[in-house]
A and B are shown apart, each in its own frame.
Chain A
Amino acid sequence: MAVLLIAEHNNKELRPFTLNAATAASQIDSDVHAVIIGQNSADAAKQLSELPVVKKVLSVEAAHYENFTAENFAPVIVKLAEKYSHIVSSANTFGKNLMPRIAAHLDTSQVSDIIKVISPDTFLRPIYAGNAFATIKSNDAKKCVTIRPTSFDPCESTGGSAAIEKVDASEEFSNTKFIKREEIKSDRPELGTARIVVSGGRGMQSGDNFKLITEIADKLGAAIGASRAAVDAGYISNDHQVGQTGKVVVPDLYIAVGISGAIQHLAGMKESKVIVAINKDGEAPIFSVADYGLEADLFEALPQFMEELNKLNTIQK
């Protein structure tokens, strides 16, 4: 039986992690079908049909799908699930919110946040904030799996031409009403997919001081991250939080500034290729994972860092 991938999108285009989830789905079985549920989402459906790993697209449109409410999405997928061995989505807030609702309806024990497909029924997943890896075998007939997007490369996005089949909508769930979404718009790269991330912690001392980070991020074409402490203190909005209960990032370069390195923060960034830590406390745990550690006052180090960057002839983007 084929694998059903749940596409994440904003009605106009696919959200980037759909491509990572498609890769994971294709590692479970080469026969990947993808379902896209939305309203006026034809362009995103077309984009989905162009992913070479996707063999068929199922498109479901109705006004009550416009805001991706799990209570509305789950019945559609539960109905389609009959024909599939696996249901797959990203383990971001979209998939985390939706997949367990599907799994419970299917009476299936979900396998969350996998980082590797070992075989179609066996997966590797981090537990305890990534301080242990568990190999899990699912004995359920139907498997619901969410995948950690940063552990799978995005699939090719062009060259495919899967057929798009329309599927009937399910009834609206009337007890949940969408009010609004406040998306923080930024010209910077997305935190989850950025090549470089510059993150600030409690050591930044104020929201204003984050401009020292912003400047460097702009110079490097980097995304801006933060520790939970910095978000809790109101220095920066929640969508920047990196860690066990925030986002997981795996950039080529992660620069942690004024972040002590609690295990909950390390859970979100310790797979980064190169880690830099700037902290005035030489004993801070962040130095134990850093490739390059600089023991210094960040208020002196960051302006100097900017100066040094300005001296470089070229900076990779």
Chain B
Amino acid sequence: MKILVAVKRVIDYNVQIRVKEDGTGVVTDNVKMSTNPPDDNAIEEAVKIKEAGKATEVVAVTVGEEKAQETVRKALAVGADRGVHVKVDGILEPLAVSKILQKIVDKEKPDLVFMGKQAIDDDCNQTGQMLSALLNWPQATFASKIDVKDNKLEVTREIDEGLETIEINVPAIVTCDLRLNEPRYASLPNIMKAKKKPIEEIAASDLGVDVSPRLEQLKVEDPPKRKAGIKVANVAELVQKLKNEAKVI
């Protein structure tokens, strides 16, 4: 079984986001960038499946500018075998990314495609589902547990009501929740070894995919600020304030 894992480069989850003064977006210059956190879970799961002898190859793919390749390199350092970097400048909508990934799937012919359930920058939560629609493959979204059984996967999904378990036939798409596993850190020797692993570079324009934007971002602004509150001295004062001032209990 061959697993393709899609990874995205995003502003690091610990960075305090600043909106650009001209309202065209958020500040990304000199800001720490990382792999989208649930994409790390996707890589980890693929590598674990390979280590368990149930997969033969893990290929990491990213779609993005020059520096997006760092996320593929990181995936190689934690156990992916090789990488694919689809180069494109600017921000693509999930629909365009899923069309590009479809082309990569056509070329690589993986049995499984893993990725994070949502990217923490645009919070769209679309790409996995869109790719699975384009391929007409089954989709297991928000996965917190994956059991590989021959040509099937049993996947536990986190849903609003609790947990759901489904069985999907491969080829299939799985989008990963943060609770799926604990991503490992890359060791220094593995980081060095990863530098020698191959990354194939493909220009998005060579894939024959229409990636033109359908959405216009008219403005990006700060959310309304909350007014600073007060500190209360003790529990009695807190309950009194909630009862008589805020009138919520």
Residues of B within 8 A of A113 (CB): 123-125
Whether A137 contacts B215 by the Cβ 8 Å rule is yes
Please report the total number of B residues contacting A with Cβ < 8 Å. Answer: 80
Q: CB-CB contacts of A125-149 with B at 8 A, as 1s and 0s?
A: 0111111111111111000000000
Contact A122 B218 (CB under 8 A): yes
Q: Contact at A294–B162, with CB atoms within 8 Å? A: no
A263 to B238, CA, bound (A): 25
Total chain A interface residues with beta-carbon distance under 8 A: 92
Instruction: Determine if B169 and A136 form an interchain contact, defined as CB atoms under 8 angstroms apart.
Output: no
Known: A100-B94, A105-B133, A112-B126. A184 touches B242 (CB 8 A): no
**Structural contact, A253 and B249, CB atoms closer than 8 A:** yes
Contact of B32 with A by CB under 8 A:
no
| B217 adjacent to A134 (CB under 8 Å) | yes
Is the Cβ of B138 less than 8 Å from the Cβ of A176? yes
| Whole-angstrom distance between the Cβ of B167 and the nearest chain A Cβ | 4
B184 interface hit (Cβ, 8 Å): no
- Interface stretch of the complex, out of A46-54, A162-170, A300-308: A300-308
Residues of A within 8 A of B133 (CB): 74, 100-105
Contact of B223 among A132, A176, A273, A301 (CB under 8 A): A132
Contact B95 A293 (CB under 8 A): no
- Interface of chain B residues 201 through 248 with chain A (CB within 8 A): 213-223, 226, 228-232, 234-236, 238-239, 241-243, 246, 248
- Would B124 and A132 count as touching, CB distance under 8 A? no
Q: How far is the CA of A289 from the CA of B214 in the complex (A)?
A: 36
In the bound complex, residues from chain A placing their C-beta under 8 Å from that of B123 are 112-113, 126-129, 244
Binding site secondary structure of chain A: mixed
Interface centre among A122, A128, A179 (most CB of B within 10 A): A128
Q: Which of A70, A104, A287 has the most CB of B within 10 A?
A: A104
Question: Looking across the interface, which residue of chain B has its beta carbon closest to that of A128?
Answer: B17
Closest Cβ of chain A to B143, distance in Å, is 11
| Contact pick for A127, options B122, B141, B179, B249, CB 8 Å | B122
A143 vs B129: C-alpha distance in the bound complex, in angstroms? 17
A108 CA to B130 CA, complexed, in Å: 10
Q: Which residues of B contact A177 (CB under 8 A)?
A: 166-168
Chain B's nearest CB lies how many Å from the CB of A136?
5
Q: Which residue in A71, A91, A128, A305 is a CB contact (below 8 Å) of B11?
A: A128
The 7 closest A-B pairs by CB, nearest first: A100-B129, A109-B214, A104-B133, A104-B130, A291-B229, A131-B17, A100-B126
Known A-B contacts: A71-B139, A176-B139, A245-B178. Give 18 more (CB < 8 A). Answer: A92-B160, A93-B142, A93-B158, A97-B129, A113-B123, A126-B123, A127-B123, A127-B220, A129-B17, A132-B220, A178-B166, A245-B177, A253-B242, A264-B13, A290-B229, A292-B230, A308-B236, A308-B238
